[in-house]
Amino acid sequence: MSTPVVELRGLVKRYGARRALAGIDLTLTENELVGVVGPDGAGKTTLLRSLVGLLEVTAERARVLGYDLTGDVTALKARVGYVAQTFSLHPDLSVLENLRFTARLHRLTAADWEARVPDLLARTGLAPFGDRPAGALSGGMRQKLAVANALLPVPDLLVLDEPTAGVDVVARHEIWTLLAAARARTLVVLATSYLDEAARCDRLLYLDTGRVVAFGTPHALQAQAGLVPYRAWGDDGRAIARAARALPYVRATRATRRYARVEVASAEAPASGGVLADLRALAGAPVRFAEALPVDMESTLLALSSGASA
């Protein structure tokens, strides 16, 4: 049995009277990609900051890479890579200078630099921008630099707080290629609000009000989701969505021009045929065709946020 990388029992973080983390139990041993998801204010950032030793916490047991989070965490900080939610590299230093700064902090050798930096720059597409100040990079390039910077010392744990928020789909893909490579040798924990990214994680940790609501593979969480999506097509998707919200078992809708996607609480709804008939009969919003959809990440996370999951 290998030593857990993360071992938390009853982890609590208080801000005044408020408990941002209200007793987190979590053990992570394998090299895997763990996604932290949940509503705004659930405690995601607080948990990630705790993991890298940035916060004073209380716990029955709180160890990361063997270091006690309630004690001296100086040595822990040298072994983790962390990408904060807000860009925290030096805006006046160039791409290369930022990386050099990190290399010196971690006492990397010239050989380490040669072995890693050209590769990181190539994989992030940052190679042509080595001399550009970080503050003058586009949002996507900045985030790629932040991830490259966190990977440079080859950390034993990589923690990223919404590394791809506001990042375009191509840059997101490049960041995920880096993360997938990092995952082969280290535990990666990241917060995300993108559905496709949540679906790509090995396991998902769903937090709400500072507590773990669910923890499992995307597949397992999907299987427990208490919401089933339907799609009702017509000439005015927005009118269909408004009408569908009046059905007692509808928990959420998303309207496009041509259809409304409707999330149905399976415990309260009739069988599929009944739901389809109800959708076809919506008052004031003609539905031409209705279909049941397979449960996906959108339904799963909506179910968890509405307490509809098993």
Q: Is 207 one of the binding residues for another protein (CB under 8 A)?
A: no
For residues 18 and 42, the answer to whether their CB atoms sit within 8 Å is no
- Residue 285: how many other CB atoms lie within 10 Å: 19
Tell me the window of 99-107, 111-119, 181-189, 295-303 that interacts with another protein (CB under 8 A). Answer: 295-303
Characterize 108-128 residue by residue with b for buried, 16 or more Cβ atoms within 10 angstroms of its Cβ, and e for exposed.
Answer: beeeeeeebbeebbebbebee
Residue 197 engages another protein in binding (rule: CB under 8 A): no
Minimal distance, residue 25 CB to another protein, in Å: 23
Beta strand 80-83 with 157-161 is parallel
User: Among 152-160, 181-189, 215-223, 249-257, which window interacts with another protein (CB under 8 A)?
Assistant: 249-257
Q: Give residues 151-170 in contact with another protein (rule: CB under 8 A).
A: 162, 165-170
Give the whole-angstrom CA distance, residue 71 versus residue 58.
10
Task: Select the span of 69-77, 107-115, 176-184, 226-234 touching another protein (CB under 8 A).
Answer: 226-234
Nearest CA to 174 out of 115, 126, 137 is that of 126
The secondary structure element, H or E, covering residue 254 is strand 250-255
298 part of the interface to another protein, by CB under 8 A: yes
- Put the strands of the sheet holding 67-68 in their side by side order: 18-28, 6-15, 61-64, 67-68
Q: Nearest CA to 226 among 269, 267, 198? A: 267
Question: Least distance from C-beta 238 to another protein, angstroms?
Answer: 5
- Provide the minimum distance between the beta carbon of 19 and another protein in the complex, in angstroms, as a whole number: 15
Q: Of 20-28, 56-64, 214-222, 248-256, which segment contacts another protein by CB under 8 A?
A: 248-256
Strand partners, 233: 259, 289
Number of residues that bind another protein (CB under 8 A): 44
Q: Residue 19, Cβ neighbours under 10 Å: how many? A: 16
Dihedral in degrees, nearest 10, Cα atoms 217, 221, 223, 224 = 150
Applying CB under 8 A, does 301 fall inside the site for another protein?
Answer: yes
The alpha carbon torsion through 240, 243, 245, 248 (nearest 10 deg) reads: -130
Position 67 contacts another protein (CB under 8 A)? no
289 interacts with another protein by CB under 8 A: yes
CB of 73 to another protein, least distance (A): 27
Among 182, 221, 302, 308, binds another protein (CB under 8 A): 302
Radius of gyration of the chain (CA): 22
Direct distance between the N- and C-terminal alpha carbons of the chain, in angstroms, rounded to an integer = 31
Q: Does 305 help bind another protein (rule: CB under 8 A)?
A: yes
114 binds another protein (CB under 8 A): no
Quick one: which segment of 2-10, 60-68, 90-98, 192-200 binds another protein (CB under 8 A)? Answer: 192-200
Whichever of 73 and 179 has its CB closer to another protein, that residue is 179
Q: Does 255 bind another protein (CB under 8 A)?
A: yes
Q: How far is the CB of 292 from another protein (least distance, A)?
A: 9
- Residue 30 DSSP one-character state: S
Q: Which spans of this chain sit near another protein (rule: CB under 8 A)?
A: 37-41, 85, 138-141, 162, 165-172, 193-196, 231, 233-235, 238, 241, 252-258, 288-289, 291, 298, 301-302, 305-306
